[in-house]
């Protein structure tokens, strides 16, 4: 697994190990944390996914490596694009060479600031190719392109999953995402930072639900086209702030700031295909997931310098 020390990757490692799989991880820890990794991981390569070491054959490659939070991927946009594209090519070469099945983690960001709502897999997106977010958005779109061409040319066994907003234990408190921002600020007595008027919407999927969807996508006999994985429940940012206030049990101050460039106004997955092909749909409610995530943040406090510990 590439990116196995990251938030989603580490939970996927846990689930694979619990099912008796042998798991090796390649991660350069640019955004992941060693303490996220389960002790039962067999081998850890601390390497750049775009220039990996010699790897043995694998039955299944989960390719998750790439910075995913806006502050992290915008910090070095060239490295982000390089990881998204060249890292994907490197893993596709491994899959071609060893005839491995490969699952590539794409993103809802390929839809950009969507003009279609909810977003189906057939929607081509509305993306600014030269904006601050384009290193990630276009990097992931290019990764989908080259992966699909590898399947056409070499016949590799490919699966692409488009991951929508995901949250849960082990999130980096300083990753800049709205759930981690809100929880860290609430627990630190700071005002919640709301960009714009809070009317923009997101759909939040708890990490255990997402991992189950990824596992099913990896196991299914054939998955010919990209597949949305996310929770279709849609909440405005203002409603998320209200819910967090209810869960923590006291009023929370709010501080409004201008919307970032190209910030999507609405985001909601159509998961009809995931339900039909995988028999999958999310089960954890936002209230229950936020409660569990707050408990995990409290267990890890103080966070200290952005550590994911």
111 in active site: no
Residue among 133, 129, 110, 136 nearest 121 (CA): 110
Residue 5 in contact with residue 29, Cβ under 8 Å?
Answer: yes
Token pair 């060249």: residue: 86
Running DSSP on this structure, what letter comes out for residue 251?
Answer: -
Tokens of 272: 């009809």
Q: Which of 111, 136, 150, 167 is catalytic?
A: 136
In sequence order, what are the residues at sequence separation of 6 or more whose Cβ sits closer than 8 angstroms to the Cβ of residue 42?
A: 22, 23, 24
Helix (H) or strand (E) holding 298: helix 286-300
Residue 141 in contact with residue 133, Cβ under 8 Å?
Answer: no
- List of E strands, 57-145: 60-63, 101-107
Q: List, by residue number, the catalytic residues.
A: 136
């Amino acid at each position: 697994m590439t990116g196995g020390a990251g938030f989603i990757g580490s939970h996927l490692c846990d689930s694979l190990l619990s099912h008796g799989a042998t798991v090796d991880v390649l991660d350069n820890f640019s955004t992941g944390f060693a303490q996220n990794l389960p002790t039962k991981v067999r081998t850890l390569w601390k390497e750049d996914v775009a220039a990996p070491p010699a790897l043995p054959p694998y039955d299944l490659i989960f390719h998750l490596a790439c910075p995913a939070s806006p502050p992290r991927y915008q910090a070095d946009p060239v490295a982000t694009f390089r990881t998204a594209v060249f890292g994907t090519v490197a893993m596709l070469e491994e899959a071609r060479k060893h005839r491995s099945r490969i699952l590539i983690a794409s993103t809802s960001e390929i839809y950009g600031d969507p003009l279609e709502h909810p977003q189906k897999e057939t929607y081509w997106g509305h993306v600014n190719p030269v904006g601050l977010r384009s290193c990630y958005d276009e990097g992931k779109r290019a990764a989908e392109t080259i992966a699909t061409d590898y399947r056409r040319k070499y016949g590799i066994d490919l699966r692409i999953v488009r991951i929508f907003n995901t949250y849960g234990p082990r999130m980096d408190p300083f990753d800049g995402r709205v759930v981690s921002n809100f929880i860290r600020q609430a627990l630190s007595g700071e005002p919640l930072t709301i960009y714009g008027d809070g009317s923009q919407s997101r759909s939040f999927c708890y990490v255990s639900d997402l991992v189950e969807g990824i596992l099913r996508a990896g196991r299914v006999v054939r998955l010919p086209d990209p597949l949305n994985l996310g929770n279709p429940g849609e909440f405005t940012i203002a409603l998320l702030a209200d819910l967090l206030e209810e869960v923590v049990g006291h009023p929370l101050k709010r501080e409004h700031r201008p919307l970032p460039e190209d910030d999507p106004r609405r985001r909601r997955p159509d998961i009809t295909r995931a339900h039909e092909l995988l028999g999958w749909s999310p089960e954890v409610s936002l209230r229950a997931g936020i409660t569990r995530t707050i408990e995990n943040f409290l267990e890890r406090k103080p966070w200290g310098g952005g550590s994911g510990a």
